[in-house]
Chain A
Amino acid sequence: MSRAQLNKVNKLIEHRYGLEDEAESASTQIQYDSVMADIARIDAQLEREHARATQIGNYAAIEAMSGITGEGSLIFQVDSPAGVGRLTRLPFFPEDAVGTNYVTGSGDTTANTSVPTVGYVSPAGTANEVNIANGAVITLKTPKISWAEIRVVGFEVDMQGTNFAIGGTQALVSNSIPAPKLIVSDLKIGGGANLFTHEDYADAQIYSSESKDICGLRSYPVLNSPNQAQVDAAAVGVMTSLAGSAGITFTCNLICEIISDDEYGSHLPGPYARGQAIARRS
């Protein structure tokens, strides 16, 4: 380990911190530019020292001393917000009346354009039998967004299943059956092609909001008013003995990048939403 180089780098770093403070308190543009030029010169010196440290085996000592990685070279990561306008969520609403046993924000099967939550509750079954009564297909739509240009980058479903009250005339044990599942199909923007890879239904679990990974789509189209996104959904695997013995409450959302916003201006979308950032290099 070269102690002399460590001391030199330490002085450069201390000097740089001092200049950063000066830049923050600069009262004129000229003063600010001058300080930033000094910082750039120090950065160039640090780069040279960094290269030399790599050659003479001083790299880890410099990183630790400068406080970048800490003693032992641990690297620390913190989850952070995505940045303004990135990974925003746009809910789907039951704009049309939904089928029997579905419940909207209106309290029954009536359409609702202000509450995205939809529920499905099992109907009463036949005495002494446990049947399965799956929900019919319903269509959900996003509102028309006139105030922004948006790129769709994902689809997400929040689901809360219940299976609370098997019993009554049956000898079933409470909660011994699975909660229902939601299936989804045919996500599209306006009259566009299906954005799902599956032409038929898929288990909505692959789009679950509880999953750390965001499931891919075939394309990331732009959503411009008056176009709307729409998706088909149905509750299945719904066991019924007494009315309400099982059910599922769910909301569907688009994951979007706001490209331009009438109120808040334009933003830089994340790299996953920029063609250049994921282009194939030949």
Chain B
Amino acid sequence: MSLAQKLANGAGGLQFVTDGAPGAGRLVRVPFYMTSAVTGFDAQIPGGTTLPGASGTTSLVSPVVLVAHPNTLGVSGEATFKTPEISWAQIRVVGFETSIQKGILKTVCDAQIVVSDLKIGGSANLFTSEDFSPAENYLAGSGFNGLREYPLLNSPNVAEVKVAVVATIAGVVDRIVAASGGWSEASLFSCCMVCEILQDDNYGAPAAPGPYAKKQAMVRRR
């Protein structure tokens, strides 16, 4: 902006900004669905019911999963979450996001949901940590957390991530009468990839991807 333009905006140099939409095909989300469950993980399906003590329900339709507070200390088994095969578009992965909903009042500490081993097809891990990280690190709305690489997601490849839950205090079983799980202090969890659509069979090439997804915009100048 030239000096004259800055002056025309008013003395004091205030700049007025507003949040915008990202542009077609940018910062879209592709949800993960739980394809392999462990005890305490139950996908929540529209119109469905889940009885006390039931666990291990998977779903290729609903991404929301009930994660029970474990009754034993330590980390639970790992559930596998996968994105669907996207045959109708070429997509670049630019981020990973989680959403966690917990009860308001607690009588024991929250069990923490942890994630690990985010990968596309048979690729290397995209997380910086080789082991588990708190899912809160990637909480939606708290700024985008970086990944080691922004790879292409081409069908039949899918993205997958491992999810587990850690209890430092055992859940109190008798809070849900006649149940073997632990729904008191349970959480509802979902996660998704943040992506840029490069080519869409239905809508064409929507736009140039955002600068964060263009190599030229991040090249080091010598």
Contact = CB atoms under 8 A, between A and B. Distances in A.
Interface of A: 13, 16-17, 42-43, 46-47, 49-50, 62-63, 66-70, 75-83, 87, 99, 128-137, 153-154, 161, 163, 166, 170-181, 183, 193, 197-203, 205-206, 208, 210-220, 234, 236-237, 239, 255, 270-273, 275, 278-281
B105 A173 contact: yes
Given A43-B4, A173-B175, A202-B29, A218 B48 contact: no
Contacts of A99: 47
12 contacts: A50-B3, A82-B18, A131-B49, A132-B42, A173-B175, A197-B91, A200-B63, A203-B190, A208-B141, A213-B22, A217-B24, A237-B44
B4 A272 contact: no
A74 B33 CA distance: 46
Given A67-B13, A136-B47, A255-B21, A219 B203 contact: yes
Given A13-B7, A183-B64, 6 more contacts: A87-B18, A176-B105, A206-B97, A212-B19, A220-B24, A278-B208
B46 to A, nearest CB: 4
Interface of B: prevailing SS: loop
Contacts of B183: 130, 177, 239
Given A66-B7, A279-B208, A216 B24 contact: yes
B103 A178 contact: yes
A237 B18 contact: no
Interface residues of B, number: 81
Nearest to B29: A206
Contacts of B179: 129-130
B7 A76 contact: no
B52 A203 contact: no
Q: Name the residue among B2, B4, B197 with the largest chain A CB count within 10 angstroms.
A: B4
A236 B62 contact: yes
Contacts of A128: 177-178
Contacts of B84: 198-200
Contacts of B15: 75-78
A211 B26 CA distance: 16
A136 B178 contact: no
Contacts of B208: 278-281
B7 A278 contact: no
B31 A218 contact: no
Contacts of B7: 13, 16, 46, 66, 68
A219 B205 CA distance: 10
A130 B173 CA distance: 12
B192 A132 contact: no
Contacts of A137: 46-47
A177 B105 CA distance: 8
Choose among B18, B27, B64, B84 the residue with the greatest number of A CB atoms under 10 Å from its CB: B64
B126 interface: no
Given A136-B47, A172-B175, A218-B202, A202 B187 contact: no
B130 interface: no
Nearest to B45: A134
A179 B13 contact: no
Contacts of A201: 31, 46, 61-64
Contacts of A183: 44, 46, 62-64
- 3 residue pairs, one from A and one from B, having the closest CB atoms: A234-B46, A68-B13, A43-B4
A134 B42 CA distance: 13
Nearest to A182: B64
Interface string B83-116: 0101001010000010101111111000000000
Nearest to A68: B13
Given A163-B104, A176-B107, A197-B30, A218 B18 contact: no
Given A47-B4, A78-B15, A178-B103, A236 B20 contact: no
B2 A50 contact: yes
A203 B18 CA distance: 26
Tell which of A67, A177, A208, A217 has the most Cβ of chain B within 10 Å: A177
B121 interface: no
Contacts of A281: 208
A202 B200 CA distance: 19
